[in-house]
Structure 1
Amino acid sequence: MKQDHLLVLASDEYLLPGFIDLHIHAPQWPQAGLALDRPLNEWLDQYTFPLEARYQDTEFAQQVYERLVPELLANGTTTALYFGTIHNTANLILAKAAIKFGQRALIGKVAMDNPNQTPEYYRDDSAKVALQQTEQFIQQVEALHVDIGGNVTPVITPRFIPSCTDETLLGLGQLAQRYDLPIQSHCSESNWEHQFVIDRFGLHDAQVLDKFGLLTNRSVMAHATQLDTQDAALFRSRGTAIAHCPISNAYFGNGVLPVNRLLNQHNKVGLGSDISGGYSPSLYENCRQAVQSARILEDGVDTKLSPEKRGVINSRISMKTAFYLATTGGADSLNIPAGKIEVGKMADLQIVQDQNNCFSVDPADVLERLMYQTNRNNIKKVFVGGQLVHQN
């Protein structure tokens, strides 16, 4: 957006901050919406790992990533925190796609070397290889900045604790400290995963991640539906953020993240689509699910119990809170000056058409209606750093 150019919105258009998606498995885009009725471990073994293994094929990687990035931008996502695969060539293709289409992206080479929890056809050969390849990707992204610029940041990415050996977890924590980089992983995301870590270490995910130096004020941990109060306090003390993935959690989380309680306790929380555990690339849809899930948590679902025993009081959140998660909450989680329209923030913006603007003019009502009714077709323009990156 040139400084000497005035863009005038139509009477039915509104300017919103760009959305920040804190949890996307980029290689899983081709399977979005598939097998969501399966348990998490089966879904990984039978669908996800075979798909991700295909990214050794660079033509396939380019085909997917050059579709995914524009799709996210068209849905208003200006900043994306991505899991890649174990293949650095494919991860660089994702980085170049983000640069080509103008998205602000944080991308991690996935580390996964535990032979007991990863298939032979898709894992790092050893901890040494996982760490070497992670460091190589960091350096490759730095070289990209020199060659072609862009807004791409490498991210330290242990897939999750079950997938990694102790040596890899420790080495990744050391790399994060050496290069001062963000960290992303999954934490206490389901009954199965949470119990697996307890059986292996005698500790919760949060304590194990902290032991290996992976909980910092630049860490974003996805899901966290099984966190207890001590885990949440540890996250708070380290400044670690939670990526709330409400659509995905409805299928695989075995619980509802207590967003209202965490925010009241000053934990950092943002929003994630979790493609493809979440079927939709739209954070608008994830905002809606966040409100629904919180309402279900408060009301409860077991009608055999009396209403006062059925749910968790003070759990519901408003759509304004969900909007916060998708904007300011995400920006605070990544420590970037975005998520708001104000002086000093990056001009990451979306222009959205209100298809029912004749019904009310109260700003609070308009925002709520936009958040519930906006779809891809209503997002007319998207800007990243003031540059037009999508026009409908």
Structure 2
Amino acid sequence: MAVANVSAAAIFVGNIVHYCREGLDAFSGSLVVERGRIISVGRTKNVEEIAQSLNLTKYVVSELKPCQFIMPGLVDCHLHAPQFPNLGLGLDRPLLEWLTAYTFPLEKQYDDITFATNVYDTVVNRTLKNGTTTACYFGSLHLESSVVLAAVAEDRGQRALVGKVSMDIPNDMDYFNKSEKEIDETENFIKLVRDMESDLVEPIITPRFALSCCESTMKKLGELAKKYNCKIQSHISENIGEINAVKEMFPECKTYAEVYDRAGLLMDKTIMAHAVHLEDSEIKLLAKRGVSIAHCPASNTRLMSGLCPVRKLIKNGLKVGLGTDVAGGDSTSILDAIRRCMDVSSHLCLMDGNSENSSVTWTEAFYLATLGGAKALSLDSKIGNFEVGKEFDALIIDPYCQNSTIDNYHCLEEVPSLSPESNEEKIKHLLQKFIYAGSDVNISKIFIKGREILF
């Protein structure tokens, strides 16, 4: 796999769809990219007129097929890169048992750099093929292999937040560091990733969860985040057994969220995964601190953790993005997370009829996977939609490509009740089919910061 560098401006002409301030926007027009940034987007399709208005002397034109469309890249707000070899294993066990039986034994193997490199090559390649242009990765406990993960993402051209997992509380698998070593290695990790001078990859502070780090270590990690202006990621309120264990371990705290807050880990650059069983007071606290939630419907269901009331979280002001949470989740695709998100919200609506938990629509789920995910990771000034000035992370989708699971029934054009009334409606139909029935096969091209990803 390689990254294609394009020196000339690129003019894309065809169907365009993204989420903007007014909502879902679908139109036929043009989008112009220069040096990785969007310099023009609109309904104009005349290439000469576009080039003249922008004073472009050197440009390449890409004209999409009538059934193709271009959309923002997908954002995965939570996944565990070292757990990919475990995908599909142990999902009949509850969270804490699953961690001990499957996760920690596998993650211990990442002290082997060759093993780590082989796995991470596959991980980044797989997520890119699924259209994940931005990934927020948990690494392992190991400094060197976590740097390898960052280097692989940089080399492949993926936008990524990469964290070296922090754990200093002893466990039965002997998978932890002494506190002083953990803080030193986390700081070294930040410096080593920053030394890469990448325009795509950045380090993120990553305490695994409250059960794996003592309070003093969490406080020092929070201090590192402030010192280096780093983002923070962790887990919260995923499983009832986990929550009870946290309250037992930190009896001075009334809630799980208070543990993190006392440690200074809750801020507007913090991403917390799961949030299935938050108390109302915790929701208010997280919203007040500006914390984001990575909603991981697949793993929440597979590990029998619970059904996250994502509508309630959004209604109460929390920023929410989607996560695959491999290997607790059983799919590496954000498309799957979109569908599971809709399913879970529908199940909650069916169970209690509470409007707070009303079903997430397909357009809202599309938002969560693109602009919503960018906001959750505090990257919406760079990516998430096609605003002028943002970096060009995008997918070209071909719903009716060869080997597609989506069939093209031309006869529908002759049925007034099924045929789109406008071009805008036609584009939305194409997007809707991709969301509900598409796969990586339908992703014909991938761009990150204007560079095409070549496999």
User: Under a length normalisation based on structure 2, what TM-score does the superposition of the two structures give?
Assistant: 0.80
Which of 208, 215, 226 pairs up with 1:166?
Answer: 215
User: Does 1:349 pair with 2:394?
Assistant: yes
Aligned match of 1:307: none
CA contact (8 A) 1:236 1:266 kept: yes
User: Does 1:269 pair with 2:314?
Assistant: no
Aligned match of 2:366: 323
User: Does 1:313 pair with 2:355?
Assistant: yes
Q: How far is the alpha carbon of 1:93 from its aligned partner?
A: 1.0
**Alpha-carbon displacement from aligned partner over 1:155-210 (angstroms, at most 9, x marks no partner):** 00000000111121111111111111000000111111111111222322211111
Which of 413, 425, 428 pairs up with 1:364?
Answer: 428
Q: How far is the alpha carbon of 1:364 from its aligned partner?
A: 2.8
Q: Partners of 2:356 and 2:137 in 1: how far apart?
A: 32
Aligned match of 2:68: 13
Q: How many residues align?
A: 376
Question: Structure 2: any 5+ residue segments left out of the alignment?
Answer: 1-5, 10-58, 401-406, 413-418
Aligned match of 1:128: 180
More displaced stretch, 217-226 vs 332-341: 332-341
Q: How far is the alpha carbon of 1:150 from its aligned partner?
A: 4.5
Name the one with the larger strand percent: 2
Q: Partners of 2:304 and 2:209 in 1: how far apart?
A: 14
RMSD over aligned CA atoms reads: 1.4
User: Under a length normalisation based on structure 1, what TM-score does the superposition of the two structures give?
Assistant: 0.93
Q: Partners of 1:127 and 1:167 in 2: how far apart?
A: 9
CA contact (8 A) 1:24 1:82 kept: yes
Bigger radius of gyration? 2
Question: Structure 1: any 5+ residue segments left out of the alignment?
Answer: 301-309
Aligned match of 1:380: 444
Alignment of 1:1-392 (within 5 A): 1=6, 2-3=8-9, 4-115=59-170, 118-124=171-177, 126-145=178-197, 149-202=198-251, 203-252=254-303, 254-300=305-351, 310-315=352-357, 316-336=359-379, 337-355=382-400, 356=407, 358=410, 359=412, 360-361=419-420, 362=425, 363-390=427-454
Q: How far is the alpha carbon of 1:344 from its aligned partner?
A: 1.9
Q: Partners of 1:342 and 1:24 in 2: how far apart?
A: 27
Q: Partners of 2:371 and 2:304 in 1: how far apart?
A: 24
For 1:352, the aligned partner's letter is I
Q: How far is the alpha carbon of 1:55 from its aligned partner?
A: 0.4
For 1:338, the aligned partner's letter is I
CA contact (8 A) 1:111 1:130 kept: yes
Q: Partners of 2:89 and 2:202 in 1: how far apart?
A: 30
**Alpha-carbon displacement from aligned partner over 1:84-139 (angstroms, at most 9, x marks no partner):** 01111101111111011100011111000111xx3353211x11111011001001
Q: How far is the alpha carbon of 1:311 from its aligned partner?
A: 4.7
**Alpha-carbon displacement from aligned partner over 1:58-105 (angstroms, at most 9, x marks no partner):** 111011000110111111100110000111110111111101110001
Q: Percent identity?
A: 40
SS at match of 2:347: helix
SS at match of 1:33: coil
Q: Partners of 1:230 and 1:80 in 2: how far apart?
A: 30
